[in-house]
Amino acid sequence: MADKKIDPTGLDAYKPADVALRIEEAGVRKASLPAVPLATLSVLAGVFIALGAAAFTAAMTGTGLTFGPSRLLGGFVFSTGLILVVVAGAELFTGNALIVMAWVDGRVSPGALMRNWGYSYVGNFIGALAVVALMALSGLFDGPLGETARKIAEAKSALGPVEAFTRGLLCNMLVCLAVWLTFAARSVTDKILAIILPITAFVLLGYEHSVANMYLIPAGWAAGLPVDLKGFLGNLIPVSLGNVAGGAGGVALTYWLAYRPKGRG
């Protein structure tokens, strides 16, 4: 029996060039999903991220910690959302920015790319709002959790468009890098560990995630904060555009230039 080839790095992981190819293949599959599975998985992703955001809100309530440690704890807990998306399976708008790799190689049409993004964005929104409704019905917004939800929503609604866009760009660079790392992983444990630090980092640094905000700002409204539609969209639109720029341009196109998966010899 032949000896197993040993990686000189000592890492049992796919190499970056192989990761690029795996992500492109995944992008082709995602872009071709039928409507019902795509819509269902998109709603699930919204639910998963909203649950992570709800857990983040709880972790930020009454911690007694200073800014950095409390955000570190909140980011660690928020990682639950992306772990559920990746391991359980769901279609997340921000992570699907990586489909751009397959689009640039001509394996996904512009229409198929926009279809996936459209379904995932709307489905994520529906899933996030469903969790807001359930949290409101649970009565949990009536206590200290509600006060924290109001503070979070107020801070997000007060961001200017340039700040919101830039924080969205930086956020999705880390989110897509977390997804990239999961494609290098060979086990569920590897995937979970690959997600935690990049996601914790984006929360710690105060970056903006559009799908998380689909929960966090309406949650503040459900908890009693008078956030109007203008204030909500004033955050969500620039953050969403920043998420696309960071994920598609900052990660997908950069790695396509480095590895050009389709033309790999």
Per-residue pLDDT 10s for the chain (265 aa) are 444 455 545 467 889 999 999 999 999 999 999 999 999 999 999 999 999 999 999 999 987 777 788 999 999 999 999 999 999 999 999 999 999 999 999 999 999 999 999 999 999 999 999 999 999 999 999 999 999 999 999 999 999 999 999 999 999 999 999 999 999 999 999 999 999 999 999 999 999 999 999 999 999 999 999 878 888 999 999 999 999 999 999 999 999 999 987 745 4
Q: What is the maximum span of the chain, computed from C-alpha positions, in angstroms?
A: 69
Distances (CA, A) of 196 to 73, 80, 184: 11, 8, 15
Q: How far apart are CA 103 and CA 109, in angstroms?
A: 6
> What is the reported pTM?
0.93
Q: Burial-class residue 46 by CB neighbours within 10 Å (0-12, 13-18, 19+).
A: buried
Alpha helices in 105-187 (DSSP H): 110-138, 144-157, 161-184
* Distance separating alpha carbons of residues 88 and 90, to the nearest angstrom: 7
Task: Supply the pLDDT for residue 5.
Answer: 52
Helix axes 210-222, 144-157, angle to 10 degrees: 120
Identify the pLDDT of residue 11: 62
**Distance, CA of 82 to chain centre:** 6
Distance CA 60, CA 236 (A): 22
| pLDDT number for residue 3 | 44
Fold of 21-260: Glycerol uptake facilitator protein (1.20.1080)
| DSSP calls for 218-244 | HHHHHTT----HHHHHHHHHHHHHHHH
DSSP readout, 183-206?
HH-SSHHHHHHHHHHHHHHHHHTT
| Residue ranges per structural domain of the chain | 21-260
CA 117/CA 186 separation, integer angstroms: 27
**How far is CA 209 from each of CA 93, 97, 199, rounded to the nearest angstrom?**
10, 13, 10
Closest CA to 43 of 214, 240, 228, 237: 214
pLDDT at position 106 is 94
- Range list of β-strands (E), the chain: none
Task: Provide the pLDDT for residue 7.
Answer: 54
